[in-house]
Amino acid sequence: MTRYSILFGAAVAAIVVAHMGPLNGAGSTISGTVKVTGLASNADVVVYIQQAPGTFPPAKPAEMDQRKMQFIPHVLPVVAGTTVKFLNSDPTPHNVFSPDNEKYNLGTWPQGQAKDYIFSKCAKPPCVYTQLCRVHPEMEGYIVALQNPFFAVSNKEGHYEIENVPPGSYTLAVWHSKAKAQPKPVTVDAGKPASVDFALAR
């Protein structure tokens, strides 16, 4: 191994570590299963750490599309302050507005265009914003603004996985549009995965 190759490897490692950030260095995974009693699907449950130490700048912009007359994804958790780009992939005009929290109405726009909204006014996360379309009243989606980036959304089977959680003791909570469950404590040890299951009911 040459001196140059060692220097190159060290530089690459330094760049990777720098991009991982201070909390991600020894991150572990919290995973588990959520069961929503009474509903046909266990999907769209947001599992999140209620409060993590430190502040978390907004991540890169997220996207919520309007396609086949649906908000996709149906549920989108973001770190408070994140910009969400609302796309319209349908041949029909769509509108986006929310009656929740500070309330907003982004107007109506045609296929291929998009509008942004910054979820920066969430003073006390989690802040749930119902997304509605005036043109198509049956459409409904949710954006959940959270304090930190340690969250996941369950799939149809109810499985979720939160990655890169720094070691520590936390309270794990869930949000669903129709069901509830009590938060649970969880301790994350370095390099050891943790498992927490939830049972939600209406």
Which residue from 89, 91, 86, 90 is spatially nearest to 76, judged by alpha carbons? 86
Amino acid at 200: L
Euclidean distance between the first and final Cα of the chain, in Å?
62
The encoded tokens of residue 115 equal 């509008």
The answer to whether the beta carbons of residues 49 and 83 sit under 8 Å apart is: no
Taking the C-alpha atoms of residue 130 and residue 186, their distance in angstroms, rounded to an integer, is: 29
Which of 196, 159, 165 is CA-nearest to residue 45? 159
Decide if 106 contacts 96 (C-beta within 8 A): yes
Give me the least distance between CB of 139 and another protein, in Å please. 6
- Tokens standing for 140? 């409904």
Q: Which is nearer to another protein, 17 or 201 (CB)?
A: 201
Judged by CB under 8 A, the stretch of 35-43, 44-52, 155-163, 188-196 that binds another protein is 35-43
- Largest interatomic CA distance in the chain: 65
Select from 17-25, 37-45, 52-60, 72-80 the region that touches another protein (CB under 8 A): 37-45
Choose, by CB under 8 A, the member of 22, 57, 137, 185 that binds another protein. Answer: 137
Indicate if the alpha-carbon torsion angle 115, 120, 122, 124 is positive or negative: positive
- Do 82 and 149 form a contact (C-beta atoms < 8 A)? no
Cα 152 to Cα 121: distance, rounded to the nearest angstrom: 22
Binding mask 172-191 for another protein (x = CB under 8 A): ------x-------------
Considering only residues 67, 85, 121, 202, which one is a binding residue for another protein as defined by CB under 8 A? 202
Span 39-58, contacts to another protein by CB under 8 A: 39-40
CB of 41 to another protein, least distance (A): 9
The least CB distance from residue 128 to another protein, in Å, is 10
* Complex with another protein: residue 25 or 99, whichever CB lies closer: 99
Binding mask 86-105 for another protein (x = CB under 8 A): -------------xx-----
Q: Which stretch binds another protein (CB under 8 A): 19-27, 76-84, 85-93, 130-138?
A: 130-138
Stretch that binds another protein, among 53-61, 132-140, 146-154, 181-189 (CB under 8 A): 132-140
Return residues touching another protein (CB under 8 A).
37-40, 99-100, 130, 132, 137-140, 178, 202
